[in-house]
Structure 1
């Protein structure tokens, strides 16, 4: 560490944001931010949460203050603000993150607190009760999914699964997918083409939407489904020209070219699948179990809607990953760690966790809460049967620690539309993506050291 360790590093260093919001220089935070004393927790302490408004309601915050005797202050999640607070030696006590992509990124930069000692002592969050999805929040210095725990997911979905509207299938004369056996990605796309409806050059019904949580995570998942890996063994490079990654990229570009669903070149005016699916204008939506939170609220739509397993590529393995795993982590320099852990336990194992589990907006991340998942109606029982069968196909798909998913997403969005519009071949696209993404990954690896 250079001689100025102990003084806060310059904000300029951290706020040099590369394309799409990757943070240049978070690495320097590890030993450089101001040292702060960790107060011992007790009643009346204040815990600062950096979250999005829908992560925790004002009612729950009031309840926490009553139950725990801890005051909770929320700051709206903002990556630039987070870096600023960490740089100034005054980070939040708990920070929202997307486990699938944020955990390796921040853990590699040594700014996250290892939570194993806290889990070991917890009477609320027991290790044998943790769903395997929480392994997205583990990182051993090299690979995601192993090593110390740095956070936990609040709920999850297997994001390659998809919902479908049986009424639209009936109307188009398309057979329903099997309940627990996967279709191939090619079959999914053929069905989407048959289900799409157009009038006067406008798409009136999307046959199917398949964009994943964010394109880089989607392509990483599709590549594993094709039998390969998007990243090299040390995660320092991507290779879209490798046969499996090329197959994954080719399929996704075919999906965009077919204009059967929303994409960069045919955006959904609602910006997400929910409203189009609710309005009977989308026959299949690649949204995992969590979309049931929207569907169940519509008593006409819910009985017509079914959940299907993640598709497979012919000859590839059956994988059903989680591309998000949103939850919380604790910065290494947080001031109120013990009080923050008490809030963490409450958020992930007590009232908020029980409320989330019974809402149908996601699968609980504690196995002991699964019995709270909605199962009153026949259609809910059917969804649960499909979902429970799919759980055994979950696996962690490790993401690179050397670039933020947002920055890779921005690079993809700059280059890919030409290929989606048929003005560039998939092979040319693969080469260009390698070139720009590997430059980004190289810079990130230099920062992490």
Structure 2
């Protein structure tokens, strides 16, 4: 069960030609259908899905431990796996340790920044560094200088945060950068009332009240920064390496765009991935050995090489990193930044007992109340803690 863009008919045919005893039946990715198939005990043999959040499947016993396959494989080696694969690891209580329950196909360190140098120059704002991260406080001040308003309307945003996509992930990163954690050790409780969590939450409130970028109270029509950034109506967007692949054909625009390191909040430099798409084999698959052969082909074979060359994300294997595009100046610059950024890669904690989407909804509603001045930051952080912990308790009881 993959997306149509993940595996072409030509690639399927090539795999089947090399493995004449295996036939692939392609199912379009459909979460509702997948859940029904998992519940019935007749799941697909191979599934596409995010590494971050995979602990829910693992805790429910739905995914196969792939470590024995990795240990025997002549194609995939644990030492060649990028750090993003750690988000597919689960030791029964913690993420990032223990067995591998999936393999990442591609990922990006999603807190990195893309910016338009032309808009910086017009505002007489110095360009961002290729190597040294900007603090979140500095970033907000830069965004204010780059925001343009006319007749009471914002005609150019200074900064986009892809607010509609995630709030938990960037806030979790901000907390990590302060040397703290949102979750307790066994991922059964969260705490937004700590100084570190409160600081992260407060920054988002300041961002929204400054009016420098889209929020859920002032959303973009398409829910994404890409079109607005492409139209030169947004100076900076917080997006991963993959974002640059949007502009390969737009030579006029890509001559003026650059990538910069993830901003920091605190003394600890951390640059995580928010998802990390990959593949996993359901525990009740009846064709695990055949599925593993497809995993090897999909990750390390021609499909993996083609993905890397496209620039739509960093490959899940270290050995494929040199395949990333460097033909155009902006691609070469982004590659250099991304390669350096990998030194600060680290997994985010994500509890198996509540989905990231559900956590995002709770945070967003609380932010809206504070932005509208209906609630204090302290009260909101307490409410977020209480509401998410209720979700976690329910999830823990369901899984057992």
Distance of 1:65 and 1:333 partners within structure 2 = 23
Distance of 2:125 and 2:301 partners within structure 1 = 44
What do you get for the CA RMSD once the two structures are aligned? 1.6
Partner of 1:160: 111
Distance of 2:41 and 2:195 partners within structure 1 = 46
Partner of 2:385: 434
Native 8 Å contact 1:211 1:218 kept in 2: no
* Residue-pair matches, total: 398
Deviating more after overlay: 88-97 vs 203-212: 203-212
Distance of 1:399 and 1:107 partners within structure 2 = 12
Post-superposition Cα deviations, 1:160-184, rounded to whole Å, max 9, x if no partner, equal 1110100010111111112100110
1:185 pairs with 2:136: yes
Native 8 Å contact 1:226 1:245 kept in 2: no
Distance of 1:423 and 1:53 partners within structure 2 = 44
**1:233-312 aligned within 5 A:** 233-312=185-264
For the residue of structure 2 that corresponds to 1:100, the secondary structure is coil
Partner of 1:216: 168
Partner of 1:351: 302
Partner of 2:52: 100
Deviating more after overlay: 416-425 vs 379-388: 416-425
Deviating more after overlay: 326-335 vs 418-427: 418-427
CA change 1:57–1:413 in 2 (3 A) is: farther
Distance of 1:206 and 1:279 partners within structure 2 = 11
Native 8 Å contact 1:270 1:276 kept in 2: no
Partner of 1:204: 155
Distance of 2:215 and 2:353 partners within structure 1 = 26
Partner of 1:385: 336
- Moved segments of 4+, more than 4 Å: none
Post-superposition Cα deviations, 1:138-172, rounded to whole Å, max 9, x if no partner, equal 01111100100000111111111110100010111
Distance of 2:133 and 2:368 partners within structure 1 = 29
Partner of 2:91: 140
Distance of 2:50 and 2:370 partners within structure 1 = 29
Partner of 2:278: 327
Q: Quote how far apart the aligned CAs of 1:425 are.
A: 1.9
Partner of 2:102: 151
**TM-score between the two structures when normalised by the length of structure 2:** 0.95
Partner of 1:3: none
Post-superposition Cα deviations, 1:42-62, rounded to whole Å, max 9, x if no partner, equal xxxxxxxx2233333344333
Deviating more after overlay: 376-385 vs 222-231: 376-385
Distance of 1:302 and 1:71 partners within structure 2 = 42
Distance of 2:8 and 2:150 partners within structure 1 = 42
Distance of 2:10 and 2:209 partners within structure 1 = 46
For the residue of structure 2 that corresponds to 1:90, the secondary structure is coil
Partner of 2:35: 83
Structure 2: stretches of 5+ with no match in the other structure: none
